[in-house]
Amino acid sequence: MSPRRFSPRLAGCCAMLVLAAPVWAQADASAKAAVTAPTPSALPAQLQDFSAYVDSVRKQFDVPGIAVAIVKDGQVVLEQGYGQRELGKPDAVDARTLFAIASNTKAFTAASLQMLAEEGKLKMDDRVIDHLPWFQMSDPYVTREMRVRDLLAHRSGLGLGAGDLLYWPPTSYSTKEVVQRLRNVPLATSFRSAYAYDNILFAVATLVIEQVSGQSYADFVRERIFKPVGMDESLVDMTALKPGMDVAMGHAKFNFTELKPVPPMAWSNNSGAGGIYASVHDLARWMNVQLAGGKLPDGKPLFSEDSQKQMWSMLIPIKISEPPVPELKDTRPNFAGYGEGWSLSDYHGQRLVWHTGGWPGMVSRLTLVPELKLGVVVLTNQESGAAFNAVTYRVLDAYMGRDKKDWVAAYAAAVKKSEGNADDSWQKHQAARDKSGKPSLPLASYAGTFRDPWYGDIAVSRQGGKLRLKFSKTSQLVGTMEPWQHDTFIVRWDDRSLNADAFVTYALDPDGKVREVRMQPISPMTDFSFDFQDLRLSPVTEAKAKGAP
């Protein structure tokens, strides 16, 4: 989870191969109806009204569509869709509707590496430079000591979401170019000393898989995982989506207020971090393989129990914070940490192995309770972590024999507080603003090209009496700069679905020339992958302009 709002990047991704249209696309409506029908007799008493409950979640958190699958003791006891694939259109969500599962992809990347390790093609404790000799972090010691296992554990020393602007929103950098730019991304802590969620090291993991296997990431996952598991509907990249497919449209609250559809996004330069599209029908099969210790339905292993133990073993602890509101006190774990592509914690005495995923317009959660042989996955087509949590905890309580709790009200209280905190933050900015503080230079003096060591160039130009800011490699990051106070502006992005407007502050030298430009998100609700605060932008001189950005 993000320290701001829920991260569409948890985020914090896509693959490079366009897959053939799967056979399920031709399935008739009656077959779908049979698959999506719930089995009330197999459900605990608390879940007999589950359809009505999910609809109440959708209504409270303004989510057009939700899909849920529950597995127990190796059986699929429910896989069902609720609501609409797209706001204002009649197509309903069902168990075979594809959603972007985002960072739930990370478990597939971890499994891929462990499978290659079982084949003797690598060791999880190999140095990354043993497989990618050109790999480089900003610190020589970390470069030398970074192991394959470290790529999966968020303990590298990078800060939260470090480098995400290299691929979020989508950029024109290749995967290799993204990884090469790691050498200029500064570390925030010492190596293996602290947890900080990242996506960029999963790009490194993607390249290791390709180097060792001799296949593209998409080919490997499709042939070695999807096919044996029976995930016939799943795709590794949104570019494989075809017209007429049963796929959900994402939705976001433009300007944090108005719910509208957002177009699908491809993240082809960081496949292993989160690009998979899947249905709850397919993910039910994935959960059963996980709960069976890596065994496929025919008893053959996809990966060994030992590999699973490694993936589910804590590599870095995570600090436990108090819930944002008293209504969520029951969710506070006794332990929390991260393994290889999995979050690890507990809930009322039961170990949880889980992950969330965030994408523009879609967020999700997959949760396993190994000792109960229980799994639940919740996919949504709106950016509401509250919705998937309210559904997940209702299911966990039912199978743990706990009394019903009003999770909808509990998470509604948390959302209200988060929105209130954002309002307070903006009011503080307003109170501190010197409204008489005009720009100290003519607008034309703020224009130019500015370069960050790891991202590259942004351009500020004067157009029609206004300043326009454009990120060179990110087509969506284009906006108008409005004076705020003194030498600080606010950039308001043309794409209002981003919810990522930012302060842009110029620092001047003694002669009144621009020395540096810094940025930071305005709202605490902005997703952490808009890591503007990590940019160190300096003017590009004529000499610099001749070099590569």
List pLDDT tens digits, range 94-106. Answer: 999 999 999 999 9
Length of the chain: 549
Q: To 5 degrees, how large is the angle CA 202–CA 204–CA 206?
A: 70
Which residues fall within 8 angstroms of residue 54, CB to CB, at 6 or more apart?
Answer: 66, 68, 80, 82, 391
pLDDT at 548: 55
Element housing 67 (H / E): strand 65-72
Q: 545 pLDDT band (50/70/90 cuts)?
A: low
Global pTM? 0.90
Q: Residue 367 has which token pair?
A: 């949760």
List pLDDT tens digits, range 389-405. Answer: 999 999 999 999 999 99
Q: What's the mean pLDDT in 2-9?
A: 37
CA-nearest of 111, 101, 152 to 365 is 101
Q: 539 pLDDT band (50/70/90 cuts)?
A: very high
Q: 500 pLDDT band (50/70/90 cuts)?
A: very high
Q: Residues 197, 203, 209, 212: is their CA dihedral positive or negative? A: negative
Q: 14, 271 in Cβ contact below 8 A?
A: yes
Put the strands of the sheet holding 478-485 in their side by side order.
514-521, 502-508, 488-493, 478-485, 466-471, 456-463, 448-452, 538-539
pLDDT at 24: 27
Mean pLDDT of the chain: 90
Task: Return contacts of 213-221, CB within 8 angstroms, 24+ apart.
Answer: 213/112, 213/116, 213/121, 216/15, 216/16, 216/17, 217/15, 217/16, 217/109, 217/112, 217/271, 217/272, 218/15, 218/16, 218/17, 218/19, 218/271, 219/17, 220/112, 221/15, 221/108, 221/112, 221/276
Provide the CA 120 distance to its chain's centre, in angstroms. 31
Provide the CA 129 distance to its chain's centre, in angstroms. 27
